[in-house]
Amino acid sequence: MLVEAFRESFGHPEVWLAGVIFGALDAIQLMLSFQGETFISVRLRVLVYLVLPFLLAGAYGVLGARQSSVRLFAAEGVRHYFRVLLPGLVVGFGVLLLALVLILAIAIGGTAVSPGLLSVASAAVLIPVAFVFFLYDTAAVIESLGVFASLRRSATLVLACPGRVVASVIMILFALLSAGLLVSLGWTLLFFDRLEPLASISVEEAASFTIPDLAGMVGPEGVALLIVLYGLFVVFAFVLVASCKARLFEDLANKAPPEPEGVYDEKGRYYRY
């Protein structure tokens, strides 16, 4: 599925265009971090997150329609922007709330709350929630569903075929990890002589080591190559994830009935037509 979905993305240059835009913005943000421009870098990161729903919606739109058109990409991006953004905010807020409740329960039980415990508690909430709602954005775009309908559709499809979704997620993560390791290894080997002093620094020096310090070690050419490689990796990651999620959603949706249409009343109750 992963190879076939990625191969199909070559028939949709708009998906690659979206990946290039996302990768370029991410690379610029990394460049600013190397230059110590934290103020601008943080704000650019916010801009990247605001642009991402448009890029994803446009990519899912052309992949779902199986058409190649910049106009369609832009139209789908605008049309489904908030259908991708808002459910993500709802899920993020829900994860934060559940994590706080879990941490509070642990603290009330008398267990000391440490940074490690906070990480474990957050992961215990984030992983299952992210898994259940893994396909909410594809559902929102391909089936034109609202906020809660897309979340419910994702949960229905994922829980109906959890093994298939787990296998797909593992394959995607393996491909990304492999590509990331290859990029990191290649860059490290090219500048091994400059990075060798890192092996002998103390724990205190490692704790205070910053990105500008790394830039000073590898020089301008090392930083430039790292930024380019990072941008290319982000482009690959965007296209791979978007194409695989669209293909996975279509495969699962073809085996399940479509989401019934309905409305929510003022009390949040859902009524099907």
- How confident is the model at residue 273, as a pLDDT? 55
Residues 6+ apart with CB under 8 A from 14: 58, 59, 62, 68, 69, 70, 72, 73
Q: Is 114 helix (H, G, I), strand (E, B) or coil?
A: coil
pLDDT digits 0-9 by tens, 71-116: 999 999 999 999 999 999 999 999 888 888 888 887 787 777 677 7
Residues 6+ apart with CB under 8 A from 225: 187, 190
Find the radius of gyration of the CA atoms of the chain: 21
Q: What is the mean pLDDT of each run of 10 residues along the chain (273 residues)?
A: 87 95 93 82 89 96 91 95 94 88 80 74 88 95 93 94 94 95 92 83 77 83 92 96 95 74 56 58
> Please, are residues 59 and 242 in contact by the beta-carbon 8 Å criterion?
yes
> Please, are residues 231 and 27 in contact by the beta-carbon 8 Å criterion?
yes
pLDDT digits 0-9 by tens, 58-74: 999 999 998 889 999 99
- How confident is the model at residue 117, as a pLDDT? 73
- How confident is the model at residue 90, as a pLDDT? 93
- How confident is the model at residue 260, as a pLDDT? 57
Q: Domain segments of the chain: what residues?
A: 2-272
Residues 6+ apart with CB under 8 A from 48: 22, 25, 26, 29
Rounded to a whole number of angstroms, the distance between the first and last alpha carbons of the chain is 35
